[in-house]
Homo-oligomer: A and B are copies of this chain.
Amino acid sequence: MRKPRKLRSRKAGLPPGSLVHIGEIKTPESGITLLDFGPDGLVETRLAQIHDLAGYHQQHVHLWANIYGLREGDDLAGIGSAFELHPLLLEDILNTNQRQKAESYGDYLYLVLHRYEVAEAPACLVQDQISLVIGRGRLLCFQERPSKTFEPIRERLRKAQDGLRAAGMDMLAYSLIDSVVDSYFGVIEQLDERAERLEAEILGGPGPGVLEQIHQFRRCVSHLRRNLYPLRELLGGLHREHARFFGSDIQLYLRDVYDHTVHIVESLDDLRELATSLLDVHLTTSSQRLNLELRTLTVVATIFMPATLIAGIFGMNFHTMPWLREPRGFLYATGLMLAIAAVMVLLFWRRR
């Protein structure tokens, strides 16, 4: 929702596969960490430049390269030719404004995933794109900025407890996808809290900024929900078109992740309906207050106008007027005022 620094329209007319960076640059530095592992061991390396990845000599069966903060000038084409990646795939890695999707290029599977963080207003959600390239015993993971999302998995690899090292590349890929999907639960819990705060405020008597908050909240939820359809489709596709990249034992786990996305979509449907309902309630509350305000005004006018008229009548300068000379005239007049006011109040009381 923030304005991206580099617009998508920059690319119109360029030949396909042009490596142009699109989207906001979210971190000033970039970094590459390698986890070179197999059933028999694990080596962890840091590379200075993306260029070095092409020349890296792999020691174990599996290589997980984690790259963040990539930008236009970097030698992505070098890796492309070293790893035999398709130009369109490289182009998509640099474009951080993409839909979530799964595409297979020969013996590589290419996944685009989004991770969200809830921010304070006005932007509400910060989106990070994660590109996964899986194939030939390698997993390249491109991120927009460093994050802690995959740290537990790295830890599990280092400790070699639960057989993740010995399991295939597909188990690692599943674990990464699962981490990203699980991170949505946290986002939804935060949105849930925000919704409850908004609800309490509106039903209690809404302040001036509430309207904008509902509006932003609704945008947030709608945007997130719309972005989950491609994710669900993606995960459904891993069963079908891209099933060959995953062992049959992993399929069971993928079904589980798929179920989670369905659950998340349903939670978002709940939230979205809640947001719409809140706006309706806000509008009706607003109209009810108008009623209250107007009633006050009507009651005041109905009580004071007749009394003022009576005072005006006895303030007229006619030579011959009733009551004026009587000693109790003033009492009669004020009594009349009070009587009319009492009748009016009684009438209002009865009507409601």
A residues lining the B interface (CB < 8 Å): 7-9, 11-16, 86, 88, 98-99, 101, 103, 105, 149-153, 156, 162, 164, 174-175, 178-179, 182-183, 185-186, 189, 203, 208, 211-212, 215, 218-219, 222-223, 226-227, 230, 252-253, 255-256, 259, 262-263, 266, 269-270, 273-274, 277-291, 293-298, 300-302, 304-309, 311-330, 333-334, 337
Contact = CB atoms under 8 A, between A and B. Distances in A.
Given A211-B284, A215-B278, 11 more contacts: A9-B185, A9-B186, A14-B152, A15-B156, A86-B252, A203-B212, A211-B285, A227-B266, A311-B316, A314-B318, A317-B324
A-B interface, 8 closest residue pairs, ranked by CB to CB distance from nearest? A311-B312, A13-B152, A12-B182, A9-B186, A314-B316, A304-B305, A8-B185, A315-B315
A185 B7 contact: yes
A11 B182 contact: yes
A142 to B, nearest CB: 18
Contact of A222 (B152, B270, B293, B337): B270
Contacts of A326: 320
Contacts of A293: 291, 294-295, 298
Contacts of A183: 9, 12
A12 B186 contact: yes
Contact of A329 (B266, B269, B318): B318
A205 to B, nearest CB: 8
Nearest to A171: B16
Contacts of A300: 298, 301-302, 305
Contacts of A15: 156, 162, 164, 175
A340 B306 CA distance: 15
Nearest to A255: B103
A289 B284 CA distance: 13
Nearest to A311: B312
Nearest to A283: B284
A278 B7 CA distance: 25
A332 to B, nearest CB: 9
Contacts of A324: 317-319
Given A16-B256, A152-B14, A280-B279, A98 B263 contact: yes
A199 to B, nearest CB: 8
Contact of A308 (B101, B215, B219, B312): B312
A12 to B, nearest CB: 4
Contacts of A323: 318
Contact of A211 (B288, B295, B315): B288
A338 to B, nearest CB: 12
Contact of A284 (B7, B152, B282): B282
